[in-house]
Amino acid sequence: MARPVAYLGPPGTFTEQAARKDNPQADLESFPSIQGVALAVASGIADEGVAPIENSLEGSVNDTLDILIRQPALFIRRELVLPIAHCLLAASGAGAGDLEIIYSHPQALGQCRDFLERCFPKVQLVASLSTAAAVEDMMESGPKAAAIAPGQAARLHGVEILATGIQDNNSNMTRFVVLSGSDSPPTGDDKTSLCFSFGEDRPGLLHEVLGEFARRDINLAKVESRPSKQFLGDYVFLMDVHGHREEPAVKEALRSLKGRSSMFRVFGSYPRWRGSTHP
């Protein structure tokens, strides 16, 4: 029997939309956190898992990056991009002037920061595990609560939509990744994601590493750093490069980078998303 595809739930999240777009025929199973999605895949409960990894307004999703850094059994198999349109939901009969608390996932709260500061400067903002879970939190809190979530969540829970399109930018997009026990074979139009850190700190070291890709005419699609969580001042660098890890030039650059790093991990090579990147 085919194993299900895990996604960040409950039903009604943008991640569920991404999972259905990636594989409309899949049997989906929701998990309450990104960590739960990852563990479902790593343990064999699910064949694949879908999780957000980057938003055009708020940047990287740290929970997903931390899992990829620390979980060697997980790889990125595919990516896809969805336009994100947020709605303000409330119980039937509730008015905007009655609200005292608004729930949502931290990323969604950040993506609607301008709307919230201008329209609800005195309302308490509370983080939920997902946008759909925010609707459940709202329903448990009573008539003075609201949630920021997809319109689909309103239909699923039978609540009202008070406002639509409340994100700060109409070009709001989120990139999702499909996690699995292996990545994808070369297609000729691929991306490779990886992380690394150094055991020493000296001037020019990062420049030397980046030069390995420049000399081989490999495009760097993304470069960022985040704390290693080992001690203050220690960082992990994350990169997306164009090309597959099995292509000769990329393979050589990765080999050189690995030799200069104290920690090195390839998250996977996978087809570059070529769908629409506009809402």
Catalytic annotation present for 231 = no
**DSSP symbols for 188-218:** SSEEEEEEEE-SS--TTHHHHHHHHHHTTT-
**Helices 62-70 + 34-43 axis angle, to 10:** 30
Instruction: Look at residues 32, 19, 30 and name the one whose alpha carbon lies nearest to residue 105.
Output: 32
- Considering the candidates 13, 15, 174, 192, report the single residue annotated as catalytic: 174
In terms of DSSP bridges, do strands 160-164 and 87-90 run parallel, antiparallel, or are they unpaired?
A: antiparallel
Catalytic annotation present for 187 = no
- Considering the candidates 176, 213, 237, 267, report the single residue annotated as catalytic: 176
Three-state secondary structure call for residue 117: helix
**Contact in structure between 154 and 160 (CB atoms under 8 Å):** yes
| Neighbouring C-alpha atoms within 13 Å toward the C-beta of 175 | 21
The residues annotated with a catalytic role in the active site are: 174, 176
